[in-house]
Each structure stands twice: as C-alpha cells, then as structure tokens.
Amino acid sequence: MIATTTARRTIIEELYSEALLLADEARGAFDMRGEMAPDGGRNEERVALSIEGLRTTTRLMHVLAWVLNQRAYLAGELNEHQLRRHGRLPAERPSMPGMMDKLLPETRQLVRESERLHARVERLDRDWPQTQAARLGAVDAMHSRIAEAFAPQTLAG
C-alpha cells in the first residue's frame, strides 16, 4: 500500500509539473495583446486563437484542479468521499477542427499536447477509484479468510 501511495504521489507530481509547463506555454501562445489591431484579413485567425485558447486553458486548468485535489487527498486534507464528489475531472471538450486549421503548427501542437494530457488524466480519474475498490475488495476477502481460519471449530456429534 505504501509503494502504491508513493507511486501515486510521483505520478501526481509529474502531472502537476507537466500541466504547469503547458499552461505557461499556452499563455504565451494565446497571448493576443500584439494582435489586437483591427485587421480584416486576420480576423478569422484571431477568432480561432480566442476559441482554441479558451478551450486549451480551460482544459489545462481542469487538469491542474484535478491534480491539486489529488495532492490534497494524499496529504489527508480531503477524504475519499470529498475527492469522489468534488475532485472528478470534467469531461473533455475537444478542439474544433475548423478552428485548428487556422492556427500556426506550433500552436496546434500545443493544443494536441493539452488534449493528450487531459486524456491521460481522464484515464487515471476513471481507473484509480476502481483500483482502490478492487484493493479494498481483496483486503475484505483476506479478512474473511482469516476470520474463517481462526473461527472456533465445532465438533459434529
């Protein structure tokens, strides 16, 4: 159990670092302050940057919130019920193909990386509770076998 918790902490910390790095890259990629001059030929690109920028940053903030909830759970600041109720990862809203076509290749790559990170966290969010339930089921089965082994034996007469 300690090895599982240690592995889980390691995974959470690596996801946290990756999400922070991607969030910083997204901030730079979708910063449109230099693009705010009205320019009819670039309007579609600005709209695409706005839409995909919002989707990407929202996706990354959901991942970061999930990771922070996991950290709080592992630190004992949230119990399992609170984690299940409030710590679930929101469903993915994938990028829009028509908008992606208008982005620079580097920006599209960043969006795809954020989608892959979300998909990885989504698998963990789905599978870790089942793993916990399976582990608890195995512990309960072991307790039952131990109880049966040490139960007083009655003599059939």
CA dihedral 98, 102, 108, 110 (to 10 degrees): -110
In this predicted structure, what is the pLDDT of residue 15? 97
Name the average pLDDT for the chain.
85
In this structure, are residues 58 and 109 in contact, taking their beta carbons and an 8 Å threshold?
A: no
Nearest to 121 by CA among 66, 76, 49: 66
Segment 13-43, tens digit of pLDDT: 999 999 999 999 999 999 876 554 455 557 8
> What's residue 37's pLDDT?
47
Domains of the chain, CATH where assigned: 2-150 (1.10.8.930)
Contact 103, 46 (CB under 8 A): no
| Whether residue 148 has pLDDT greater than 50 | yes
pLDDT at 154 over 70: no
- The string of pLDDT tens digits covering residues 64-104 is 999 999 999 999 999 988 998 888 999 998 898 899 999 99
pTM across the whole model: 0.76
CB 64 within 8 A of CB 16: yes
Residue 152 has pLDDT above 80, yes or no: no
- Summarised one tens digit per residue, pLDDT across range 127-144 is 986 555 455 555 656 666
Q: Cβ(49)–Cβ(30) under 8 Å? A: yes
